[in-house]
Chains A and B, each alone.
Chain A
Amino acid sequence: MKKGSMAAYRWSVVSRVLAAALGGYALASALTVLLALIWPLPKSQAVLAATMLSFTLYAVAVIWVFSVRSATRAWLGMLIPTVFVAALCWVLQVGGAA
């Protein structure tokens, strides 16, 4: 590999690691909240069940990040669903409170 393409490769790996660690965590967190809100169980049990499952969600997200073609795609794949799920949680919570 040439020097320039090697550096580009290294940066894309760094970007992907961050997408997995931070983006994946954000997505797993949002999904955990969503599951806790919609799981048909008493509140505390739904939180427990969703949180126990969260590590699976995180793992799947990370694996996905490292399986797509580009780092940009990986970032988008984490951020768009996170925003969408977070918005859905917000609607559910505000709607539930109203």
Chain B
Amino acid sequence: MKEGFRQSMAWLHTWTGLVVGWVLFFVFVTGTAGYVDDEITRWMEPERPLQVRVDGVERGPMIERALDRLEQVAGNAKSWTITLPHTSLRPRGEQGLAIAWEDLPERGHDYGRRGSETLNAHTGLPRQEVEPRETGGGAALYEMHYVLHYLPYDVAIYIVGACTMLMLLAILTGVITHKKIFKDFFTFRPGKGQRSWLDAHNVISVMALPFFLMITYSGLVFFLFNYMPAGAAALYGPGKQQERVLIDELFGRDKREHLPASRPHVALEELVQRAEAQWPGQGVASLTLSQVRGEPARIDVQRVTGGSVNVYDPVMLSFAADGQPTVYPDKTHGPGKVHRMLVGLHEGLFADWWLRWLYLVAGLLGCGMIGTGLVLWTVKRRNQHLKRNAGAALFDAYGLRLVEVLNAGTLVGLPIAVAAYFWANRLLPVGIADRAAWEMHCLFLTWGWLFLYAALRPLRKAWLEMAWMAVAAYGLIPLINALTTDRHLGITLVEGDWVLAGFDLSMFGLAALFAYGALKIRRRWLKADAAAIQAGKEALA
């Protein structure tokens, strides 16, 4: 091992970062897309109507119509939920009137069948939903960041888990290595080759360090009993069944027997108004009706989520069936709150638009941190390699070449492949079988082809050409959208649908980012070549 604590840590930082860098880059790209998964899905389902707010429908009768419909379709339900029109965070966007229910579980089952409908607020009848094209949408991108693709779930989460643990180590050792972490943060030496890559890596990493620590640690916490089953196994016994007991104890699944939900005697509108008075400016999102056998019926009025990282336990007021406010014991506990907070910070569902952009930027910085780190590894070794006589270490030469190809193929190839996923959404025929699966195949076929491309072209040419491919791949998306749908900027900007317009504009933004990168590396290489030629001339003279 290397001498000295800091040197050992630098060594550990380099190698933990390298072995998992590419997987982590994939996780960061797809995970960052996941922060706008609802928005991506909307773009990928252009058949759906533009966003409309449901306004000007009298609420009292609207709730009664929803109850009528629930009585019709969910006569034997453990719970009824009525969602009122509001701007929601989960899923993000305008919610219309909707109902949802869970049937009473059959004997021997833990859960009942769930159902839901969106209703016409004026008539209370189910709305005729347009059937969008078959697509994986933003959800398919988002899911890949923890279950990858083409792999069994159980295998994938352990691969991602191991990589996440190594990322945590890379972050910690990275901090230890940089004794002058604050000074380094203000150090940037552009146009200095290896130094510039190092400075860029430092600046990016330190800029969003709290985010990286949070996202990595909370990523582990998502599957904590999978990754570290010892505690649960020792105190509850090994096995899935025992783990269920633990989870139920922790998060209190309601296993009591329920009576079918039914129309209450009290006017729900009155309860909604009373709740609204308590939450000025925030409003009511939904109502839930249920009844445990042997207890009075219960009505929960849930507030619109917001103002808290925890979006899993909505703020609510509870009433008995006669409209009496009722307080039920708070079952939350310290460790549970910490767990909720970590998961909540990771998912970022609580974030409004400003904070969502910040999440996106932080995610992109994560891609930048991993990317600059991987490039730095090759730049450092290439310099060392050139100094030694050629052929001295064939193994090292192959290793370097492998990393260089993997870098180009992943750091530029993957973003192009994601663009191909969006292209496929617009260009694959709408009627083909397994369309959603083929969108994903397009992503991976493109990526595979780009690996080949990176391997067969001279390295510098591969980087530059692929960077320009990325510019074209993203820059053309809004145009393809305009040619294939009527949800293009000409309409979305005019109608003020900022989700759809924002998607197209972001594609232009990404294209601009890649163009900037392409110009930058070209200029640098020209300069380096000129310097080398100059040095050669001086040596000859």
Chain A residues near B (Cβ < 8 Å) = 12-13, 16, 28-30, 32-33, 35-37, 41-52, 54-55, 58-59, 62-63, 66-67, 69, 89, 93
Contact = CB atoms under 8 A, between A and B. Distances in A.
Nearest to B166: A62
Nearest to A17: B15
Contacts of B339: 48, 52
Contacts of B228: 28-29, 32, 51, 54-55, 58
Contacts of B165: 55, 58-59
A8 B169 CA distance: 25
Interface string B230-247: 111011100000000010
Interface in B103-144: none
Chain B binding surface, main DSSP class:
helix
A37 B9 CA distance: 33
B168 interface: yes
A52 B224 contact: yes
A50 B224 CA distance: 10
B246 to A, nearest CB: 5
Interface stretch (B330-338, B347-355, B362-370): B330-338
Contacts of B12: 62-63, 66
B217 A55 contact: yes
Contacts of B11: 66
Contact of A93 (B176, B220, B221, B234): B234
A36 B224 CA distance: 14
A45 B230 contact: no
Interface of B: 1, 5, 8-9, 11-12, 165, 168-169, 172-173, 176, 217, 220-221, 224-225, 227-228, 230-232, 234-236, 246, 249-250, 333-336, 338-339, 342
Given A37-B235, A63-B9, A63-B172, A48 B230 contact: no
B246 A47 contact: yes
Contacts of B335: 41, 45-46, 48-49, 52
B170 to A, nearest CB: 10
Contact of A47 (B8, B168, B221, B232): B232
Chain A binding surface, main DSSP class:
helix
B421 to A, nearest CB: 32
6 contacts: A33-B235, A50-B231, A52-B335, A54-B224, A59-B168, A93-B234
A47 B236 contact: yes
A63 B12 CA distance: 8
A24 to B, nearest CB: 10
Contacts of B232: 47, 51
B8 A66 contact: yes
Given A54-B231, A66-B1, A67-B9, A44 B250 contact: yes
Contacts of B230: 28-30, 32-33, 54
Nearest to B245: A44
